[in-house]
Structure 1
Amino acid sequence: MYKFRDPHGRVVYVGKAKNLRSRLNSYFADVASLHPRTRQMVTTAGSVEWTVVRTEVEALQLEYNWIKEFDPRFNVRYRDDKTYPMLAVTLNEEYPRLFVYRGPRRKGVRYFGPYSHAWAIRETLDLLLRVFPARTCSAGVFKRHTQIGRPCLLGYIDKCSAPCVGRVDAEEHRRIVEAFCDFLSGRTDKLVRDVELRMQAAADELDFETAARLRDDLGALRKALEKQAVVLGDGTDADIVAFADDDLEVAVQVFHVRGGRVRGQRGWVVEKSGDVLDRPDGRDTLGEAAEDVGDVEEVSLLVEQFLTQFYGEEAALVTGDASSDAQEGGAVPREVLVPALPPDPDEMTRWLAGLRGGPVRLRIPQRGDKKALADTVQRNAKEALAQHKLRRAGDFTARSAALQGIQEALDLDSAPLRIECVDISHVQGTDVVASLVVFEDGLPRKSDYRHYGIKHAAGDGHSDDVASIAEVTRRRFLRHQRDTAGTVTGDGGDFAPEAALDPATGRPRRFAYPPNLYVVDGGAPQVAAAAEVLDELGITDVAVIGLAKRLEEVWVPGEEDPVILPRTSESLYLLQRIRDEAHRFAITFHRSKRSRRMTASALDGVKGLGETRRKALVTHFGSVARLREAGVDEITAVPGIGKATAQAVLDALRADRAPHTPAEDADPDAPAPSVGDDDSVGVSAVRAEAEQ
């Protein structure tokens, strides 16, 4: 196993090779003849490290772990496609819920799909709720109807068993949900027979009303089954994988077949990694791989990379059920059909079997239904690549043109692949905060977003954006210097890459690498303040500009006149996007901070009421306005609040009946990131960003 690191210590590529000398020789023998992406990786790398392992299985596992840990820029990443909806069943709740879901998988939740369209899930769900009347409402709706003691409309029309009002208990409701999961898992014959027998028994007992209802349920089951065509008559559980590629990208399609029926489909289009070989004939697709030795090697490497990442990730997400079909389209199936076998198929098969906990068959379909289905998946991969190229042509070209235009307009040595932007937010000098957003290759990198509480402005009561910009810049680059062990200086000091690494994890420290371009929201004064801080710190390899909102002028330090970019240029559009994203992120944090302060201030000064009790009261009642209208007995129902404290709260609130601010009605459970001393938190900021 080997890792390429850039001069700042970041891992940019991980790979494995049985002969490391031969692999490195292939990279450095003739750089000009390499694949463009491989050439960029080799020229970006500053050092190489390697680790010796005993078996291919260990190498596969370590490669998967490294890709997940370091997120190398030049490795293929088969990230889950967020555009495909799934049907989720929350088995981790007392009363499981059925709903349409998009996003990463969570523990304790069972998923079916992904499906092509959300309407297909809703249509199937609407049919099956006649037979399996499980809960589909959100937690808030469920709680509200529990409190009022009446079911929702679905409960009245018998499409929900109404556990919220006690029509069924938790155990009975879970049996309904488990029967629903069994039906979607392919165990349909037994359920259909059971409904038929119950219908016949009701008819024999002259209970025609029940028999008619069961007849309608049987029709709904059969209609749902018609939507799931049988593609493999032997009831096979398998995943069928196919690829289509061009010189730079590869499209991957996976069909998930369970019980002989296609239960889900996924697709990715990713850039090729450095280990994928250049094909001599420049063929457009991989469907004819068997005709050329180079193609076979390339497809084999793609298959190995995909299986390692995809099933490693999926097996890590499947919890609570060890069966091979516990997660539809998620866990490792009994059979995986691929266009070419990986370089070491026996080791790969053993690794997959270990993930599944049972035997796995890895093979190339040769004839019959499986070959026909593999051809269908292959056609889908070709179509997905063609559509992707049409969609991305303008987008990718625009980003490249934007970065190139910025480089030329600012006379930079290279295109600014990493751009950071700072914005300040406040209301008349109060609650002053700042945001820092990061764009890499013209796209937002939200995991690197940060926000700051401005210290110099605390309690000043006036605004000083220039000083705030200087403070944020100083804190951000002081942290950068600390994370590089102080080796970046203004007197010609050399950069030591190993100093930028955390010895505990081997990963670069958070601010161990600087941006190529540092953008501030403002004009000449703000730019001068940021540039002055960088000069003080001896940082000379970061370009600084300001983007003024009024005329969208680009200000450069030391220049009397701004740089004017064409109003329709991609470069100006990219800078505007980055500036607007920084403004949005700063506003979001400022509002949450102001809301917490204003909500809590209404209860300040109440004797015997500390921060914990204030929060408990606002959380219990939902807002200060509702708390003001409550009685003493209602307030004492909150744990930790006695009668004397409750009366003091009411006296304080009712003594001041000034119109309350909208922030008093803010949701107390809304995410509000905290602020650190040196730099803002990363994880909480990203979580708040994801939940907007």
Structure 2
Amino acid sequence: MANPVTYRPKTGEIPLDPGVYRFRDEHGRVIYVGKAKNLRSRLNSYFANPQGLLAKTRTMVFTAASVEWTVVGSELEALQLEYTWIKEFDPRFNVMFRDDKSYPYLAVTMGEKYPRVQVLRGDKKKDTRYFGPFYPAKAIRETVDTMIRVFPVRTCSAGVFKRAERTGRPCLLGYIDKCSAPCVGRITPEDHRALAEDFCDFMSGEAKKFISGLEKKMAEAVAELDYESAARLRDDIAALRRVFERNTVVLSEDTDADIFALKEDELEAAAQVFHVRGGRIRGQRGWVVEKVEDMETPDLVEHLLQQVYGEGNSSNEQIPREVLVPVLPSNSDQMLEWLRGLRGARVDVRVPQRGDKATLMGTVEQNAADALRLHKSRRAGDITTRSAALQELQEALDLPQPLMRIECFDISHVQGTNVVASMVVVEDGLPRKSEYRKFSITGDAARDDTASMYDVIYRRFRNYLAYKAGDT
């Protein structure tokens, strides 16, 4: 690890202006990005007494080998540039709110030719609409079973779908009218997509439109003495109302708000948000973050809003008129200006003091407390095991310091053809999947595994040296 004295900039060289700074390690990787109203004051705080810093901040300062900065014209520009760099470099020491993946969501894969309704946990996928979360998990299965009665959208896996296409026979759901059976051509791709869009519209809150339409059809069936159809429509209306009533009104129907809450200790913090649209809770998300610097709650709120609304990759993350927080974010004026710029309209960020909104925030805070407690119980054994494994590896290889980054390579082929290689990365004992890579191997390098491995290692470090030379 580097001694901070070796790369500390002279005080007179650091400007007094607002700006954004980056710490890099000995390999040139950006490991931390921060912003400051006064660059000189902020950077000097890292070097004045490194031993007095928080443990994780001290580790960052001693891991770094250089620091650089960029002066900007205003604090708003600093906020925007900081977020851009964090997204670009994904620095390992920055505060990053990691998604809580423990809740199941109802998902509709609108990116497929025949959209599929399914239950998903984990990372959110592109071109997929999400609704929920549902707790307990039984509730989501009941919702799906009820909804496909009225909107018979495909729910089967790709394997089941292809087998039905080959045999020309649908699965059981196709026979009992809980699937429109696009696999055997009972419905066109366009009509099936329209069904999926209606399914999404209903789950997004447009329930009254569909219920009114079914009631009108039921009345027409009764007028024509078609009582069998009327009874079926009656049952469909009852099913939709059961789903609709699960989304109970928690605030006035004209309320669109995101309600955030935090629960923290000296090392970590858990955050939760309820997305309220039309007075109903339409979604929820949770994150857990490790504190790197000695951050106050307003700083955490600022980073949380910056990350959630900066992503902009989910319908739940569309910025509402009202954002309710436990405390106002630091640099609140700049944050308000940034949010208004993203939304293109007024945004109110405030702390609820009393009434239904304050009560609902209490519920969100309880969720955050539960999430932090669960995270702590799961991580207690993981950290101990990981640290022990890294120390054991260091001793076995007789290394002066632990292996903070490990890259593993492997070669694969099909009887000597279609040769490919993969690289997986482990940092601090954890997989860093964003840096996994695949390599295609052709020509003379594909003659055997030894030549292929040489080619991959050579290309990897050639690119690394080129990247390092470009940054210096």
For the superposition of Structure 1 and Structure 2, which TM-score range results when normalised by the shorter chain?
0.7 to 0.9
Q: Deviation of residue 37 (structure 1)? A: 0.8
Alignment of 1:517-536 (within 5 A): none
Q: 1:304 aligns with which of 286, 302, 305?
A: 302
Distance 1:246-1:200 versus aligned 2 partners, 3 A rule: same
Contact 2:410 2:421 in 1 (8 A): yes
TM-score calculated relative to the size of structure 1: 0.59
Q: Secondary structure at the match of 1:96?
A: coil
Provide the C-alpha distance between the structure 2 equivalents of 1:193 and 1:450, rounded to a whole number of angstroms.
53
- 2:368 is matched by which residue type in structure 1? A
Provide the C-alpha distance between the structure 1 equivalents of 2:240 and 2:414, rounded to a whole number of angstroms.
59
Distance 1:409-1:343 versus aligned 2 partners, 3 A rule: same
TM-score calculated relative to the size of structure 2: 0.84
Q: Deviation of residue 74 (structure 1)? A: 0.5
Whether 2:411 is the aligned partner of 1:385: answer no
Alignment of 1:188-207 (within 5 A): 188-207=207-226
Q: Deviation of residue 157 (structure 1)? A: 1.7
List runs of 5+ in structure 2 lacking aligned partners: 1-19
Per-residue Cα deviation, 1:282-304 (whole angstroms, up to 9, x for no partner): xxxxxxxxxxxxxxxx1111011
Q: Which residue of 2 aligns with 1:604?
A: none
Q: Deviation of residue 409 (structure 1)? A: 5.0
Q: Which residue of 2 aligns with 1:598?
A: none
- 2:289 is matched by which residue type in structure 1? V
- 1:63 is matched by which residue type in structure 2? E
Provide the C-alpha distance between the structure 2 equivalents of 1:478 and 1:107, rounded to a whole number of angstroms.
31
Provide the C-alpha distance between the structure 2 equivalents of 1:427 and 1:163, rounded to a whole number of angstroms.
35
> Higher strand share goes to which structure?
2
Q: Which residue of 2 aligns with 1:38?
A: 57
Q: Which residue of 1 aligns with 2:457?
A: 476
Per-residue Cα deviation, 1:570-617 (whole angstroms, up to 9, x for no partner): xxxxxxxxxxxxxxxxxxxxxxxxxxxxxxxxxxxxxxxxxxxxxxxx
Q: Deviation of residue 169 (structure 1)? A: 3.9
Distance 1:190-1:432 versus aligned 2 partners, 3 A rule: closer
Per-residue Cα deviation, 1:325-363 (whole angstroms, up to 9, x for no partner): xx2x23222322111111222322232233334332211
Q: Deviation of residue 155 (structure 1)? A: 2.7
Q: Which residue of 2 aligns with 1:339?
A: 326
Q: 1:501 aligns with which of 451, 460, 468?
A: 468
Contact 1:437 1:450 in 2 (8 A): no
Q: Secondary structure at the match of 2:149?
A: coil
Whether 2:164 is the aligned partner of 1:183: answer no
Contact 1:434 1:454 in 2 (8 A): no
Q: Deviation of residue 209 (structure 1)? A: 0.8
List runs of 5+ in structure 1 lacking aligned partners: 278-297, 319-326, 486-499, 509-692
Q: Which residue of 2 aligns with 1:240?
A: 259
Provide the C-alpha distance between the structure 2 equivalents of 1:83 and 1:252, rounded to a whole number of angstroms.
14
- 2:457 is matched by which residue type in structure 1? R
CA RMSD of aligned residues (A): 3.4
The count of aligned residue pairs is 452
Q: Deviation of residue 85 (structure 1)? A: 3.3
Q: Deviation of residue 305 (structure 1)? A: 0.7
Q: Secondary structure at the match of 2:303?
A: helix
Contact 1:6 1:46 in 2 (8 A): yes
Distance 1:434-1:98 versus aligned 2 partners, 3 A rule: closer
Contact 1:435 1:452 in 2 (8 A): no
Provide the C-alpha distance between the structure 1 equivalents of 2:457 and 2:183, rounded to a whole number of angstroms.
51
Q: Which residue of 2 aligns with 1:517?
A: none
Q: Secondary structure at the match of 2:378?
A: helix
Q: Deviation of residue 95 (structure 1)? A: 4.1
Provide the C-alpha distance between the structure 2 equivalents of 1:179 and 1:429, rounded to a whole number of angstroms.
50
Per-residue Cα deviation, 1:363-406 (whole angstroms, up to 9, x for no partner): 11111111111111111111211121111111101211222334
Q: 2:243 aligns with which of 220, 224, 248?
A: 224
- 1:192 is matched by which residue type in structure 2? I
Larger mean CA deviation between 441-450 and 358-367 belongs to: 441-450
Per-residue Cα deviation, 1:400-447 (whole angstroms, up to 9, x for no partner): 122233434554322222234566789999999876543221122342
Alignment of 1:574-653 (within 5 A): none
Whether 2:105 is the aligned partner of 1:86: answer yes
Contact 1:115 1:265 in 2 (8 A): no
Q: Secondary structure at the match of 1:137?
A: coil
Distance 1:424-1:83 versus aligned 2 partners, 3 A rule: same
Q: Secondary structure at the match of 2:285?
A: strand
Provide the C-alpha distance between the structure 1 equivalents of 2:252 and 2:171, rounded to a whole number of angstroms.
42
Alignment of 1:416-495 (within 5 A): 416-421=403-408, 437-446=424-433, 447-448=435-436, 468=450, 472=453, 476=457, 480=461, 483-484=464-465
Q: 1:14 aligns with which of 20, 25, 33?
A: 33
Provide the C-alpha distance between the structure 2 equivalents of 1:62 and 1:70, rounded to a whole number of angstroms.
12
